[in-house]
Amino acid sequence: MTRAKLSKPTFPAEADSKEYAASLDAADPLRALRDEFIIPSKANLASKKVAKPGLSQDSSIYFCGNSLGIQPKAVAKYMEAQLDTWSSIGVCGHFTELEGSPLKQWQLLSEQAAGSMCKIVGAAPEEVAAMGTLTMNLHLLLASFYKPTETRRKILMDWKAFPSDHYAIESHIAWHGLDSKENMVLIGPDEGQHEIATEKIFSYIDKHASDAAVILLPGIQYYTGQLFDIPEITSYAHSRGLIVGWDLAHAYGNVELRMHEWDVDFAAWCTYKYGNAGPGAMGGLFVHEKHGQVDYSEGEDAPRFRHRLTGWYGGDRSVRFKMDNKFKPIPGAGGFVISNPSVIDLTTLCAALSVFDQTSVADLRQKSLKLTAYLEHLLLKDTTDENRQFEIITPSDPNARGAQLSLLLKPGLLHNVAQQLQDAGIICDKREPGVVRVAPVPLYNTFSEVREFVEVFKGALAS
C-alpha cells in the first residue's frame, strides 16, 4: 500500500517579484477561506493589552500554524450559540436541539465533531472520537495496545520525539515494571543526516521483530518537518507482528491521511495547530474498526471487546442512564471515551471544523504543495551552499514533508533573526539553538506573504 507520488511545482525567473506572487494569489481557488479567519494585527502583537482584532491592512504574517493556528471567525458564532443554550435551557441542552443553532444537542456534540474530523484523517466516523488531549489520548491508547509479554516488550519510537510522546512511552514501560532504557528503542537518522530514511526504520523493525510490541512514530516530525511514509511503515511493521500507532499532531489538517485504508491500529492528534481549534483544544483519536468491535455472542450482559480503560461516556447511550454499572461499550472509537466531554471545548472544535467542511484536505494539500515549494524556491534563489547562512533540514521531496520548512541557521544568528522577524510582524516558531520553523498554512496564508517573509528573512541574515 503506497501513497500517490507528488511532483514539485516549478517557478519562473521572475518568481520573486511582487507581481508574480500577486498573480498566484489571484489564481488561488481557496483564497476566500482566508476571510474565515481573524489574522492577528501587527499593532496588537506589539501591545501588552487585550485588544479587538486589528484592521486587515495591518495584518501580521502568521507562519506559526504548526504551533498554534489562528482563530476562525466561526468560533464567536458557535460560542454564542452554546452560551445561549446553556443560559436559556440549562441541563436540557444535553437532549434538546435548538432551531437555528449550528450545534447538536450536547449528548451528540462529540459525534458532530467526529463526523467532520474523520474526513481529515481518512476514517469512518465510528473510528474517530473527539476527546481529551494528545498526551492523555496516547496514554489511554497505549493502555489498550501496549501489552508486553515475556519476549515482546519493546517500543520503537522516533529519536527526537516530542517530549510528551517520550514521557508517555517511558511511563508505560515503567508501569509494567520494565526498564525504559532497555525497552525504548530510538530510531535516528544516519550520521550527518536530518531525515530518517524509511529503509532505516525497516532495519530497526527487522532487528527488533522478535522483541518489540509496538512502534509509535510521528506522522510528521515536529523539529525537521519530515513526513513519514505512514502506509509503507505500517504495512512493514504489521508483517513483523508489531502494533502500529501514529502521533498525528503535525499531520492533522496538514497532509492527506488514510488511517483506515492504511490499516493503522491507533492514532492520536491535537487540534490546535493546523486544526485551529484554540490553545489546548480538545484532541482526537483513531481506533481501527477491527479493534473497536463488540461481540455479544455470549449474551447482552457479557460483551467481549478489546480491553481499555473504561469510563461512563464510553458506554452506549441507550443504557448509560440505567446506572447499573454494567458497561456496554459503544462500538468503535467511541467506546474509548472516558468522561463527559467539555461542551465548551467541543464548541470551538466544531467551529474550526466548520471551515474544513467548506473544502477538502486534498485541495488544501494541493495549495500547500505550491506554497511550500514557493517558499523553498525563494529561500534558495540566488544562493549557493557555500554562501548560504542556513540549511533547510526539511526534506526537499514534497512527498516527505507537509507545510513546514525548518531552517537551521549558522551558530549565533537565531536571536537576531527571530527578533527582526518579530519586529516586522512576522510570527514564526524558533527552536534553540538555531532553528526557525516556517509554516505557510493553505487555509489562510498567501503567496505574497511567503515572498515578503523571504525578503525580511534574508535581510535579517545580512544585517
Q: Which residues are annotated as a binding site?
A: 134-135, 162-165, 247, 250, 272, 312, 340
Q: Are 278 and 73 in contact (CB under 8 A)?
A: no
Residues annotated in the binding site for pyridoxal 5'-phosphate, as ranges?
134-135, 162-165, 247, 250, 272, 312, 340
Nearest Cα to Cα of residue 442 among 12, 20, 30: 30
Q: What is the DSSP string of 77-144?
A: HHHHHHHHHHHHHGGGGGT-PPTT-SS--HHHHHHHHHHHHHHHHT--GGGEEE-S-HHHHHHHHHHH
Residues sharing a CB contact under 8 Å with residue 60, sequence separation 6 or more, in sequence order:
39, 40, 41, 42, 45, 425, 426, 427
Based on the number of CB atoms within 10 Å of its own CB, is 25 exposed (0-12), middle (13-18) or buried (19 or more)?
middle
d(CA 306, CA 298) in angstroms, rounded, equals 15
DSSP 172-186: HHHHTT--HHHHEEE
Residue 217, C-alpha cell as written in the block: 512514530
Quote the cell numbers at residue 223.
Answer: 523539529
Name the pairing type of β-strands 61-62 and 426-427: parallel
Q: CB under 8 Å to 193, separation ≥6 — which residues?
A: none
